[in-house]
């Protein structure tokens, strides 16, 4: 019991109490200064009628889905390549290069990419023009390109963690399974499809859940890159909550939006675990 005490205290202080506080605050109208006024469910009725909020949810879902797909597919490909035969020093260098963006501050990463994606002076447009003769793209000022820019930066930032988890999953697969497949005459693709992927399914499930939660909580990247614009094309729900709370001083309404995001993530996680029963295999 004593060993559980630090974790239990941390959970109560930093998870349970703030969650209860948000639930309570979502039933009030409070501007941070005066006394709060009890509203009941009025904040939730208001958010159901808030067309802007649902537009922000759509843009968030697009960016979160794109980041999730890129991380899962590209991360698996790069992890498999990293586990292929190559000198140990080269493998270590690649692992470090992929993991480095993950440990750097999100704001710092977004600030660097803001310069790289600059329409007139950015290196991205320069090299696209040099290599492919593409006209300069307004990455941060176009409603069509701004969400894509956020996806690129967020994927680049978080891909290293996905690769690291994939590599750990690949190394945990017993070598005997692959050797048995080779003896049976299975080629590289057959071994990957019928041996590696099934045994990697628990790792994939973990990454699906973690990346989904992380992607729906995007904040620093769109905040620094585009400030959520143009319009709300790259604004995320977390950024909308922040703007509502600390720029509009509507703490109660912002808390109600936060409750909807929490419920959405709980439901998505539950659905993912239910579906995973059909394709997750444990050795």
Q: How far apart are the first and last CA of the chain?
A: 31
In a domain, 16, yes or no: no
In a domain, 73, yes or no: yes
Predicted confidence at residue 153, as pLDDT, reads 93
In a domain, 185, yes or no: yes
Q: What would the pLDDT profile of 18-72 be if each residue is shown by its tens digit?
A: 888 888 888 888 887 777 788 888 889 998 888 889 999 999 999 999 999 999 9
Domain that holds residue 164: 52-279
Distance CA 56, CA 88 (A): 45
Predicted confidence at residue 283, as pLDDT, reads 62
Total number of domains in the chain: 1
In a domain, 17, yes or no: no
Nearest-CA neighbor of 224 among 173, 150, 166, 168? Answer: 150
Distance CA 265, CA 213 (A): 6
Predicted confidence at residue 276, as pLDDT, reads 85
SS3 string of the chain?
CHHHHHHHHHHHHHHHHHHHHHHHHCCEECCCCCCCEECCCHHHHHHHCCHHHHHHHHHHHHHHHHHHHHHHHHHHHHHHHHCCCCCHHHHHHHHHHHHHHHHCCHHHHHHHHHHHCCCCCCHHHHHHHHHHCCCCCCCCCCCCCHHHHHHHHHHHHHHHHHHHHHHHHHHCCCHHHHHHHHHCCCCHHHHHHHHHHHHHHHHHHHHHHHHHHHHCCCCHHHHHHCCCCCCCCCCCHHHHHHHHHHCCCCHHHHHHHHHHHHHHHHHHHHHHHHHHHHHCCCC
In a domain, 13, yes or no: no
In a domain, 18, yes or no: no
Distance CA 119, CA 135 (A): 10
Distance CA 149, CA 163 (A): 21
In a domain, 237, yes or no: yes
Predicted confidence at residue 73, as pLDDT, reads 93
Around 278, how many Cα atoms within 13 Å sit in the side-chain half-sphere?
4
Predicted confidence at residue 60, as pLDDT, reads 94
Q: What Å distances lie between residue 191 and 17, 81, 83, 155, 174, CA to CA?
A: 48, 15, 14, 28, 13
Q: What Å distances lie between residue 66 and 63, 74, 152, 200, 225, CA to CA?
A: 5, 12, 9, 22, 17
CATH of residue 57's domain is 1.10.3720.10
In a domain, 268, yes or no: yes
Q: Which residues of the chain have pLDDT under 70?
A: 1, 283
* Reported pTM: 0.89
Predicted confidence at residue 257, as pLDDT, reads 93
**Quick count: other Cβ atoms within 10 Å of Cβ 45?**
12
């Amino acid at each position: 019991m004593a060993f559980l005490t630090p974790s239990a205290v941390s959970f109560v202080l930093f998870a349970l109490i703030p969650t209860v506080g948000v639930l309570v605050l979502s039933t009030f109208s409070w501007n941070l200064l005066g006394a709060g006024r009890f509203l009941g469910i009025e904040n939730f009725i208001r958010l159901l009628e808030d067309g802007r909020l649902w537009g922000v949810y759509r843009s968030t879902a697009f960016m979160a889905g794109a980041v999730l797909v890129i991380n899962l597919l590209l991360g698996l490909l790069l992890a498999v390549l990293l586990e292929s035969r190559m000198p140990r020093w080269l493998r270590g260098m690649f692992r470090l290069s992929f993991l480095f963006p993950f440990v750097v501050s999100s704001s710092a990463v977004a600030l660097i990419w803001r310069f790289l994606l600059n329409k007139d002076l950015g290196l991205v447009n320069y090299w696209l023009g040099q290599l492919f003769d593409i006209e300069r793209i307004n990455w941060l000022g176009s409603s069509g390109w701004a969400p894509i820019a956020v996806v690129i930066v967020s994927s680049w930032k978080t891909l290293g963690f996905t690769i690291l988890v994939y590599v750990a999953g690949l190394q945990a697969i017993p070598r005997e399974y692959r050797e048995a497949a080779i003896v049976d005459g299975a080629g590289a693709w057959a071994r990957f499809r019928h041996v590696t992927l099934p045994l990697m399914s628990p790792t994939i499930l973990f990454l699906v859940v973690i990346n989904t939660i992380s992607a729906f909580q995007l904040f620093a990247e769109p905040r620094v890159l585009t400030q959520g614009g143009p319009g709300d094309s790259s604004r995320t729900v977390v950024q909308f909550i922040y703007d509502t709370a600390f720029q509009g001083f509507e703490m109660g309404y912002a808390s109600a939006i936060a409750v909807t995001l929490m419920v959405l993530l709980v439901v998505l996680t539950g659905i993912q675990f239910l579906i995973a029963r059909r394709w997750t295999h444990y050795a």
